[in-house]
Structure 1
Amino acid sequence: MIAKIRIGLAFAFIAATTTVLALLQVLTLKTGLWRETLMPRLWHRCMVRALGIRVHAHGALAKERPLLVASNHVSWTDIVVLGSLVDVNFIAKADMEGWPLIGWLSKLQRTAFVERERRRSSGRQASEIGQRMARGDAMVLFAEGTTGDGNAMLPFKSTLFGAASMVISEGAGEKVFIQPVAIAYTRLHGVPMGRAHRPHAAWIGDQDLAPHLVGLLADGAMDVEVHFGEPVAFTAESSRKETAKLIERRVAEMMQAALAAPRPSR
């Protein structure tokens, strides 16, 4: 009964805040009344509160620009977790653009959509993302290309770093900074998660979003750590494959360190 009440109140809060902040974001994009990242940042903070997620940040978003943030990917909640901490824009799969409501909200947050399987469009999309980075937007790339189970990472796809190359090849900058970021879900109700419990936070494959959301709302009280690493300079002489491996290794090290010794819940 208590879980049902919690879910009902959380959905009401989510619906109300989403409606108000989405309308204010539409107004912002049309008039420039506020900075474009203000309403999305507020919405992400409301979402983590509704979900009962406690976010612990270690380090900070790099100040260097152009900036590409390369992170591991566990769940759709990674977006609200990162968005609640820093002003960033996300790179997402093209099919998400057509999702009911989610696609519209993503567009309001100025998400960049990419068709990873189509080579003809990938170059144009990488160029567009590169132009946004050149203008100062910090773009977040979930470099595994899909979600994992929260215990281990999948290999980073070097092709997804094409936007960094575009910034340089189009003369928008001599170097791009790529910052490794690790997201680790570490505690449930204050108790450290073991290997068997970490997939509780994960949203894998074709899993339906609604049941996963309901499950998170019912359980609540989850801790997540976000570790910001030192940015790596990517230049015309840099190898995408070697850079992808380096960033992958640094993200994996931060993630495993957080899982092995989670910070106290507070």
Structure 2
Amino acid sequence: MAGDAVQGAVPGAEGGLLNGITALARMVRLFGHVMRGLVLIKLQFGGMTQAQRHVAVQAWSLRLFAMIGMQLTVHGEPAAEPALIAANHISWLDIACVHAALPRARFVSKSDVAHWPMIGTLAYGVGTLFIERERKRDALRVVHQVAEALRDGDTVAVFPEGTTGPGPTMLPMHANLLQAAISVGAPVQPVVLRYREPGLGFSVAAQYIGDTTLIQSIWRIASARGLAVEVHFLPLLPTAGMDRRALAEQLREQIQQRLDT
């Protein structure tokens, strides 16, 4: 009996070791990929047209998923016209998910991200707008910036929840940034992000919540097997004459309805 127990434990131990080696290799490749992104932004972006930058951003995002063994599936069509993209928020990977399908999107992100090593430089390089959510005056400043960007023909993406959630259920939405679309008459496109892994309708490995650090989150994702993400672009919502709180509730209902299916 004791011999049987020892023999049964060995394959599991080897499996755990192999999984750890795979995760470590993925993290090394990911680090190299981030470094290549920094070189791209620092040395090449300045000589590129806007269209060339979008191609580079999309290619970098798609390559990222290949390196960590994640499958990406896109449903629906991203807006062809300037629009405010409003998505649910689960992981630091969310921006790459949207950029893989809609590389021209400029994101609004919390100011903390600007100070993250390497990631902050990447975010700044692709035109991210940073907001200090704790300061109401700063929110007003960013609303004006987003409105100006939409007026100039840009597509801007926001996470109205303001922070990451577990995935199955939407957190309450903050309506402030939606005012930017209303003020210039730009449509809003709801986008639903859903991470899955084998046996789970909603991935646990992809969650970036609570006290989880960025390094811990990267390791969990690198260690996951069969991780996949779906990006759903829902129909555009007109904003003419809308109240931002009513618009936020409409967005939340539509995104939650898709998450429930």
Please give the TM-score of this superposition, normalised by the length of structure 2: 0.86
- Pick the aligned partner of 2:247 from 243, 248, 254: 243
Gaps of 5+ in 1: 169-174, 258-266
> Aligned pair 1:57/2:74, yes or no?
yes
Cα distance between partner residues in 2 of 1:224 and 1:252 = 16
> Aligned pair 1:75/2:91, yes or no?
yes
Q: Give matches, 1:205-220, under 5 Å.
A: 205-220=210-225
Cα distance between partner residues in 2 of 1:110 and 1:245 = 28
Residue 30 of structure 1 is matched in structure 2 by 46
Q: Is the 8 A contact 1:180 1:228 kept in 2?
A: yes
Cα distance, 1:239 vs structure 2: 0.6
Residue 168 of structure 2 is matched in structure 1 by 151
Q: Is the 8 A contact 2:143 2:176 kept in 1?
A: no
Cα distance, 1:228 vs structure 2: 0.9
> Aligned pair 1:180/2:190, yes or no?
yes
The root-mean-square deviation of aligned C-alpha atoms, in Å, is 1.8
Residue 200 of structure 2 is matched in structure 1 by 193
- Specify the code of the residue in structure 2 equivalent to 1:15: F
Regions of 4+ moved over 4 Å: none
Q: Give matches, 1:1-266, under 5 Å.
A: 1-33=17-49, 35-65=52-82, 67-87=83-103, 88-166=105-183, 168=184, 175-186=185-196, 188=197, 191-194=198-201, 198-235=203-240, 237-257=241-261
Gaps of 5+ in 2: 1-16
Q: Is the 8 A contact 2:139 2:177 kept in 1?
A: no
Give the SS at the match of 1:69.
Answer: strand
Q: C-alpha offsets along residues 188-247 of structure 1, whole Å, 9 cap, x if unaligned?
A: 2xx3415xx633321013410101111211123212211111001112x21101111111
Q: C-alpha offsets along residues 21-66 of structure 1, whole Å, 9 cap, x if unaligned?
A: 322222343223563323222221121112221111110101122x
More strand per residue: 1 or 2? 1
Residue 264 of structure 1 is matched in structure 2 by none
Cα distance between partner residues in 1 of 2:225 and 2:123 = 24
Q: C-alpha offsets along residues 93-133 of structure 1, whole Å, 9 cap, x if unaligned?
A: 01211122221111112111112221222222211122122
Q: How many aligned residue pairs are there?
A: 243
Cα distance, 1:16 vs structure 2: 2.6
Return closer, same or farther for 1:203/1:28 CA change in 2, 3 Å cut-off. Answer: same
Q: Is the 8 A contact 1:28 1:35 kept in 2?
A: no
Q: C-alpha offsets along residues 126-168 of structure 1, whole Å, 9 cap, x if unaligned?
A: 11122122222211111111111112111211123132244x2
Structure with greater Cα Rg: 2
Please give the TM-score of this superposition, normalised by the length of structure 1: 0.84
